Structure 1
């Protein structure tokens, strides 16, 4: 029993109360994330939109989300992490409920654009707040545990949402809105303002400072390459499984495997990852992701696909455990929001370009697609190792300061 308590403390102990407030709020919010996976169902079933109209509305949502993280980064530096996160959550709740009762197509389009902007505002602000309240030595563990909370909550939210979507879809909007309000107010009232880093006055900080940071720019490009590979799990993987004659249920089983692996494995390795050099850990993780997707060219049944998902899911756990910590450690305190906004923008850009890249490669052949993804992940790993000394130097300076 004492060994079990020691193991639990090793993974979860030593982090400040403000962090656990943020962690709990994130879990609550993700448990309430029920609407987004069922947007298409709502728009066609409840609002009677055509497939063309649904495609246009979802594109507008993506356009709103495209610059959301950059906006959040600037707001978090200028006006504070807590105000940005709380404001984003309250705005999301208000827009969500407006959308729920909107019947006019122009109003629906406007709400979807604003929702795309508001929904992701919390991310850079949340990451910057972790950088403010967590010392360098514990950041890998803190971000990994937060990633675990996101997956744990989202898995529960989607399962519950699936049960409600058929007969009580308005409840999805209300539950989502309430969880957003709870998250925002919890952070506002339970995280002291004194825990935030000093705000940027507007005279010394801008995105130009981030873009002139060569190490951060290279790391952002590495993150973009990794994201393009990873996002194929939701773009070309279902198409490839369909081409092999497998049903949507088979894809659901494969994707559910990803959630199960993350939920079960992340807490086990969370403390272990922080003991090694971040660049080496990230490189190993990206290589595993590449190997997992590369293996896909050799499988054709559900069990084979599940095995590949297990491999790249372990790689995902490893990468996610350190990548946000790397970005945070590269950032000066007064620009931490902008740095995390640029880091998050890599994923937003990937959402835009990954469908075109993936479907084009799949059109050339499944072997071309999966081998190209494997090569891209390995190249990203090599570049990550190349900038490793610079990252270690910057991190050492941060610890010394």
Structure 2
């Protein structure tokens, strides 16, 4: 008697199949939004080149953006649990469109500062809601793949947006603000029409973040992710200034090299996401952060577009390893009715990095040049990787 032949699922089915339709609407909205995300990667260049601010002043302005984002993540986390994921995400995107245009038309330093703070307050408000939506919609076993696919959509759009953004910046920075605003509106409309509310039924727990802050493992994980965010945030804060300033690259050259990041992720990440999702999350994330740190340290030696592309390839490999894992750990730690708040605290780490990274990066760049900046960044990343390994046993027990 012969055994029945078990047919293995195809690559497309194993990578893209089996996820609920509302997830794909969220994925599509994220892709559209990222296709138009052009302002933030070029903010430093815009402030110094188009508005004539010094590097130090530009760093201060970007830190003001981060201050708004600090409030944003905590507020949006509570709102996602209180009024719902869908309303929080759509409302944040519509407000972002308005503030993008306000910043684009601001010409004075007070106006730029006010617009940057308001933009920081709303532009990332979607993150806690989006993270919670994925955890609500997708089963635990499929979450690494789902978060990885969302990350893939971000970079699929980013690979196109960065290239187009580099060319549009040559034609005029105002184009960047209009394209970005339209993409935000498109994201809001798609989610409102195609994604139902996913917040668990029942009365949401009252209060703020006290219950989250009492979870020492979550607090430790947030601190570790702050280190990761400090490293990665250099890509859209100090890296553009360093490459178009000290390294002497043009906007178009920088945009073309940075597009490699998205292209590599689009090609490679779906091939390895399933395998990486079966590995131990804490060790996988630590490995990814370590590889990414080495890539940023090598940026100290960049003098051409080719060598910038080489360093981008290295730290992109680290990103690919991390893809899907950070959100999976977060969903594991968070009770269902508190996913918005947990995601808000997680996002708070990235917002804190938005404040600290430009101040740290611009200060190091002015004081010690590229070597001081990129060696320090790499060192922070390696310490972060060690911290993730230390949290591993507790995460596995949870």
- Assess, with a 3 A threshold, how the Cα gap between structure 1 residues 339 and 293 changes in structure 2: closer, same or farther: same
Q: TM-score, normalised by structure 1?
A: 0.83
2:335 to 327, 332, 349: 332
How far is the alpha carbon of 1:102 from its aligned partner? 6.6
Instruction: Report the counterpart of residue 397 of structure 1 in structure 2.
Output: none
Matched, 1:206 2:205: no
2:69 to 32, 57, 65: 65
Tell whether the 8 Å contact from 2:63 to 2:358 is kept in structure 1 after alignment.
Answer: no
How far is the alpha carbon of 1:184 from its aligned partner? 1.5
1:385 to 380, 384, 389: 389
Larger deviation: 241-250 or 301-310? 241-250
Instruction: Report the counterpart of residue 120 of structure 1 in structure 2.
Output: 124
How is 1:315-394 mapped onto 2 (pairs within 5 angstroms)?
315-359=318-362, 363=367, 369-394=373-398
How far is the alpha carbon of 1:378 from its aligned partner? 2.8
Larger deviation: 123-132 or 380-389? 380-389
Instruction: Report the counterpart of residue 142 of structure 2 in structure 1.
Output: 138
Matched, 1:148 2:172: no
1:90 to 94, 97, 113: 94
- Consecutive unaligned residues in structure 2, runs of 5 or more: 1-6
How is 1:242-261 mapped onto 2 (pairs within 5 angstroms)?
246-248=248-250, 251-261=254-264
- Secondary structure of the equivalent of 2:10? helix
CA distance in 2 between counterparts of 1:94 and 1:300 reads: 38
Instruction: Report the counterpart of residue 163 of structure 2 in structure 1.
Output: 159
Tell whether the 8 Å contact from 2:73 to 2:344 is kept in structure 1 after alignment.
Answer: yes
Instruction: Report the counterpart of residue 295 of structure 2 in structure 1.
Output: 292
Larger deviation: 103-112 or 257-266? 103-112
How far is the alpha carbon of 1:246 from its aligned partner? 4.7
Instruction: Report the counterpart of residue 311 of structure 2 in structure 1.
Output: 308
Matched, 1:268 2:266: no
1:80 to 79, 84, 88: 84
How is 1:33-72 mapped onto 2 (pairs within 5 angstroms)?
33-37=37-41, 50-51=52-53, 55=58, 58=62, 60-72=64-76
- Assess, with a 3 A threshold, how the Cα gap between structure 1 residues 109 and 134 changes in structure 2: closer, same or farther: same
CA distance in 2 between counterparts of 1:367 and 1:41 reads: 20
How far is the alpha carbon of 1:288 from its aligned partner? 1.0
Please tell me the root mean square deviation across aligned C-alpha atoms, in Å: 3.4
- Assess, with a 3 A threshold, how the Cα gap between structure 1 residues 96 and 368 changes in structure 2: closer, same or farther: closer
- Consecutive unaligned residues in structure 1, runs of 5 or more: 395-401
Tell whether the 8 Å contact from 1:200 to 1:334 is kept in structure 2 after alignment.
Answer: no
How far is the alpha carbon of 1:180 from its aligned partner? 2.0
- Assess, with a 3 A threshold, how the Cα gap between structure 1 residues 200 and 283 changes in structure 2: closer, same or farther: farther
- Assess, with a 3 A threshold, how the Cα gap between structure 1 residues 172 and 192 changes in structure 2: closer, same or farther: same
- Assess, with a 3 A threshold, how the Cα gap between structure 1 residues 252 and 186 changes in structure 2: closer, same or farther: closer
Instruction: Report the counterpart of residue 216 of structure 1 in structure 2.
Output: 218
Instruction: Report the counterpart of residue 398 of structure 1 in structure 2.
Output: none
CA distance in 2 between counterparts of 1:295 and 1:216 reads: 32
How many residues in Structure 1 have an aligned counterpart in Structure 2? 388
- Assess, with a 3 A threshold, how the Cα gap between structure 1 residues 206 and 63 changes in structure 2: closer, same or farther: closer
How far is the alpha carbon of 1:69 from its aligned partner? 1.5
